[in-house]
């Protein structure tokens, strides 16, 4: 350990100026132990992993095509026409859930990636460079936050047209202010530290200070927000799909499945039950994981 830190400080003048090294993530082994010994982390993280794996290997897990219409197999109970039954077009519900996971995960991951990148860059710059960058960027965030999210999404999608890319872009833009605000307030606090002053004094450029001095220290709240934002992004995506403003009808999507099957709910509740269960569980898993990450990464933020 000592050896590596000496090496690092020779290469990196900023780190050598740091009087107290930034709290780093502990070793991979500690993280693995945390994962395995915490029941709530194990359950929520395990479920998310399972979902990612089944989305990746959808064609291995199920041989049936999620969009194959079978007129003779309409509205079958679980076990007939597929593991979980069929919908009103005779399509295999299990296959639709597994392929729907692909869409949900791609949309939520891409949109949260966009919003975290944009938000962190904008929030850090606003705090670091001060006025007028500060005023412009933070007022912009206020303006976006003053619309109820789904309303703004509906508004924009109705002009852009509904497609996977548009849904990703809209959700990405809508959630940018959340990351921006967190990055902003954390940067304001972190940049008061002496080591940032030292880095400025030895002439480090702003980009370098932001990347090496500030970013590692504001990482914890951003990771937590990432997990929580995944949950809300999934809620928003499924809500838009439910309204018919998500991806085109031929793409398997949980929200749209629920909307279509809800008309047959009295005689065949399964078409609503399975996607409902899977959406709720997924969002719940991301929320639980976010809470657990918060407890682990930043005890000050803990909800006690």
Partner 1 sequence: MGAYLIRRTISTIVLLYLIVTVVFLLLHLLPGDPAMTILGGIDANPTEEDIARVRERLGLDRPLYVQYLDWMGSLLRGDLGTSFVNNRSVADDLFTRLPRTMMLIMPAVILAVLLGMPMGIIAARFRKSLVDPGISSFALIGFSVPVFVSGLLLVYLFSLKLGWLPANGYVSPADDFIGFLKRAVMPIVTLSLGPMAITMRMTRSSMLEQMGLDYVRTARAKGLTEFATMYRHVLRNALLPVVTVVALQFGAMFAGSVLVELIFNWPGVNSYLLTSISVRDYPVVQAIVLVIATIFVLINFLTDVSFAMFDPRIRHD
Q: Which residues bind partner 1 (CB under 8 A)?
A: 139, 142-143, 146-152, 154-156, 158-160, 231, 235, 238-239, 242-243, 255, 258-259, 262, 265-266, 269, 272, 276, 279-280, 283-284, 287-288, 291, 303-304
Residue with Cβ nearer partner 1 (176 or 276)? 276
Report residue 90: phi and psi, to 5°: 80, 15
Q: Is the Cα dihedral 258, 261, 266, 272 positive or negative?
A: negative
* Paired residues of 86 in beta bridges: 92
Contact 270, 93 (CB under 8 A): yes
Q: How far is the CB of 73 from partner 1 (least distance, A)?
A: 23
Residue with Cβ nearer partner 1 (196 or 224)? 224
Q: Quote the longest CA-to-CA distance of the chain.
A: 77
Cis peptide, bond prior to residue 207, ω within 30 of zero: no
Q: How far is the CB of 19 from partner 1 (least distance, A)?
A: 30
Q: Give one word for 79, left, alpha or beta, with left for phi > 0 and alpha for psi -120 to 50.
A: left
Q: How far is the CB of 139 from partner 1 (least distance, A)?
A: 7
* d(C-alpha 138, C-alpha 181), whole Å: 8
Residue with Cβ nearer partner 1 (20 or 139)? 139
Residue 97 token pair = 């859930």
Q: How far is the CB of 181 from partner 1 (least distance, A)?
A: 13
Residue with Cβ nearer partner 1 (191 or 282)? 282
Residue with Cβ nearer partner 1 (268 or 296)? 268
* d(C-alpha 98, C-alpha 84), whole Å: 11
Contact 119, 177 (CB under 8 A): yes
Q: How far is the CB of 286 from partner 1 (least distance, A)?
A: 8
Q: How far is the CB of 167 from partner 1 (least distance, A)?
A: 15
Residue with Cβ nearer partner 1 (56 or 265)? 265
């Amino acid at each position: 350990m000592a050896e590596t830190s000496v090496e690092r400080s020779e290469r990196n003048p900023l780190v050598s100026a740091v009087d107290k090294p930034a709290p780093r993530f502990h070793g991979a082994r500690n993280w693995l132990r945390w994962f395995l010994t915490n029941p709530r982390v194990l359950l929520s993280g395990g479920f998310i992993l399972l979902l990612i794996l089944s989305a990746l290997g959808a064609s291995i897990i199920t041989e049936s095509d999620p969009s194959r219409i079978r007129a003779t197999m309409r509205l079958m109970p679980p076990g007939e026409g597929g593991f979980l039954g069929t919908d009103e077009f005779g399509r295999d519900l299990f296959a639709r859930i597994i392929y729907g996971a692909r869409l949900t995960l791609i949309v939520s991951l891409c949109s949260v990636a966009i919003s975290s990148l944009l938000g962190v860059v904008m929030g850090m710059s606003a705090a670091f460079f001060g006025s007028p960058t500060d005023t412009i960027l933070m007022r912009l965030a206020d303006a976006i936050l003053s619309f109820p999210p789904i309303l703004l999404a509906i508004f924009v999608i109705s002009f852009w047209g509904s497609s996977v890319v548009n849904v990703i872009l809209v959700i990405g833009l809508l959630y940018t202010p959340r990351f921006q605000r967190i990055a902003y307030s954390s940067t304001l606090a972190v940049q008061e530290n002496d080591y940032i002053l030292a880095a400025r004094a030895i002439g480090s450029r702003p980009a370098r200070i932001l990347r090496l001095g500030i970013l590692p220290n504001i990482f914890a709240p951003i990771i937590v927000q990432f997990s929580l934002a995944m949950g809300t992004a999934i809620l928003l995506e499924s809500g838009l799909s439910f309204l018919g403003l998500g991806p085109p009808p031929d793409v398997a999507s949980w929200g749209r499945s629920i909307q279509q099957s809800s008309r047959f709910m009295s005689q065949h509740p399964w078409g609503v039950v399975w996607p409902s269960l899977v959406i709720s569980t997924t969002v719940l898993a991301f929320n639980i994981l976010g809470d657990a990450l918060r407890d682990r990464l930043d005890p000050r933020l803990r909800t006690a």
